[in-house]
Structure 1
Amino acid sequence: MRIGLAANRRHHADGDAALFRWLRASGAGLRELDHSLHVVGRTHDAIVEHRALDGFARLHRYPLGRDGGLMKLVAEIVGMGEDRTLDGAIYLIDPVDPSSIFPEAVALKRQCVIQGKPFLSTVASARDWVESERIHAGLPADTGADDLHAFEGQTLALIAHDAMKPRMLDFVGAHFDLLSRFADRVATGTTGGLLNDLAWSRGWPADVPWAQRFRSGPLGGDAQIADLVLDGRCHRAVFFEDPHVARQHEADIQLLERAVTTVTDTVACLTSPAVADRWARAAVIRAAMG
């Protein structure tokens, strides 16, 4: 696989920055998978300077962001031919860096969602993705990723915009047993109601909500879940976004996304049905490994 990689300045400023925390946790897995990393200028240079991937031959430098490096990642997520098509992107976002809302940064996420490819904006998401790909490659579970799979002590958020609610129901129906392992599930209003109905139809106790319902997104549900994220009470978000429509509550959606990137080490986020399904299948296989 070919994966784009970028990190805002704060996330590669020193050896303890988010980029290097991820590489220390997942570098061995990246080497096992032998994926190629296509890295925007300063992020690439920081990796080399800190010798974070010494000997890794499949590290490719792209131009600086100001010279179009991030724009090139967007084009290659869409696809520029056999040798210039990326399979996903890792973009470690500093939510207070102005460049995180530049058009090319927004477009990178949007095109990953449209194309059904991973968009990984937190350390936890990037770690989780590497472990899932290792499992799909038939490699043994990495005990260093056990914290990501301790679902019985975690809260899962399930959020879907109107056009994506049927896809969310399909996803939950296909992976109901796995998702029921989480200690708690939360959802915005309408989605939560639909998920509870589904759970009750599957034999979940009729007097027990499968998902705790917050307000609908336009009435503040995204903000309520963002508060859980910031307080360390939500550990994974499955967020099926419809990238094709303008939304009156866009600021609320951005607030939730900002909350996730603020606590980059502790929340993993899945942003499309295809990516979520691949994660869920890997999680089931990993659990069966014992």
Structure 2
Amino acid sequence: MRMGLAANTLHHDHDDAALFRLLHASGQGIRELDISLHAVGRTYDAILRVGLLADYPGLLRYPYGHEGGLMKLVAEVVGMPGPGRVLDGVIYLINPVNPSSTFPEAVALKRQCVIHHKPFISTVASARDWIEAERIHAGLNPDPGADDLHALEAQTIALIAHDAMKPQMMAYATDHFDVLSRFAHRVGTGTTGQQLNELAWSRGWPQDKNWVERYQSGPMGGDAQIADLVLERRCQRAIFFEDPHVARQHEADIQLLERAVTTVTDEAVCMTSPRVATRWAVAVQRRAAHRAG
């Protein structure tokens, strides 16, 4: 498995920075899964500086960002001819107030991950969550250090989908209704929330009780309302099925939610692809079954 790796300076400029918190929490999982980390220049240098992943052959150095490192990651998410030139996804720890996160190569990196149904992981919590899911799929025993991520009964999840992706969201909720019902609360925007409630009622959810708490539609500010929940630590996970192929009139609102998630990097998980979200849900079921067994 090959993953791109980059972190804005904020996340590797001191010994307890986000990049190092991630590697301390999940370094063993990285080794167990034999994940190759294709790290952009300064991110690679920072890992060596603090002595993490010492002698790990899967840590590979790419050029600095200003020398095209991120651009190479974009190309390899799409896939390039030649051995080892296809990435399975990207971990990109973003500083939401750093303008580099809006540079074309950064935006393209996220967009191409969504288009090619690969994980785009922008927070520490998302990275820890993804590594634990991959461990479960590999048949490894659950990591007790990831139990906090799987305490769904104490969490709130946001379920959001652009118009073209609403059928995929309904199919996803149908297939994984039991997993999503484990959450203490579910929230959603406008039409998506109403459709999910109708689905839940058809599955036997009490007719006088909403399965999803509805906020405004995205264009009317629903993304901003849910972003506020994230910032207040009242929403720990977002499944946001984005349509990367259309111009979006409320792009700023969408970015607001995404940036809110990266602001609380240790606590918020975000998934933007049906394939990635499905793989997570299956891992949740397998992990729970292992715990129960």
- Residue of structure 1 in register with 2:205 after alignment: 204
Q: How far does residue 35 in structure 1 lie from its aligned partner after superposition?
A: 1.1
1:236 equivalenced with 2:264 (yes/no): no
- Residue of structure 1 in register with 2:279 after alignment: 278
- Residue of structure 2 in register with 1:193 after alignment: 194
CA distance in 2, matches of 1:184, 1:55: 44
Residue identity (%): 71
Aligned Cα RMSD in Å? 0.5
Report SS of the residue matched to 1:138. coil
Deviation track 1:223-267 (CA, whole Å, cap 9, x = no partner) reads 000000000000000000000111111000000001000000000
- Residue of structure 2 in register with 1:109 after alignment: 110
CA distance in 1, matches of 2:116, 2:248: 20
- Residue of structure 1 in register with 2:91 after alignment: 90
CA distance in 2, matches of 1:24, 1:170: 36
User: For residue 77 of structure 1, what is the amino acid of its counterpart?
Assistant: V
CA distance in 2, matches of 1:27, 1:284: 24
CA distance in 1, matches of 2:10, 2:266: 14
Deviation track 1:38-92 (CA, whole Å, cap 9, x = no partner) reads 0000000000111111121111000000000000000000000242000000000
1:7 equivalenced with 2:37 (yes/no): no
CA distance in 1, matches of 2:104, 2:11: 20
Deviation track 1:160-210 (CA, whole Å, cap 9, x = no partner) reads 000000000010100000100000000001000000000000011111100
CA distance in 1, matches of 2:204, 2:245: 35
User: For residue 140 of structure 2, what is the amino acid of its counterpart?
Assistant: L
Give the alignment of 1:134-283 within 5 angstroms.
Answer: 134-283=135-284
CA distance in 2, matches of 1:126, 1:147: 14
CA distance in 2, matches of 1:55, 1:289: 33
**Count of residues in Structure 1 that have an aligned counterpart in Structure 2:** 290
CA distance in 1, matches of 2:95, 2:54: 25
Q: How far does residue 12 in structure 1 lie from its aligned partner after superposition?
A: 0.5
CA distance in 2, matches of 1:170, 1:55: 44
User: For residue 186 of structure 1, what is the amino acid of its counterpart?
Assistant: V
Deviation track 1:109-156 (CA, whole Å, cap 9, x = no partner) reads 000000000000000000000000000000000000000000000000
CA distance in 2, matches of 1:53, 1:189: 45
User: For residue 105 of structure 2, what is the amino acid of its counterpart?
Assistant: E
CA distance in 2, matches of 1:24, 1:184: 30
CA distance in 2, matches of 1:171, 1:52: 38
What is the TM-score of this pair, normalised by structure 2? 0.98
- Residue of structure 2 in register with 1:50 after alignment: 50
CA distance in 2, matches of 1:50, 1:83: 27
Report SS of the residue matched to 2:91. strand
CA distance in 2, matches of 1:154, 1:83: 38
CA distance in 1, matches of 2:15, 2:192: 41
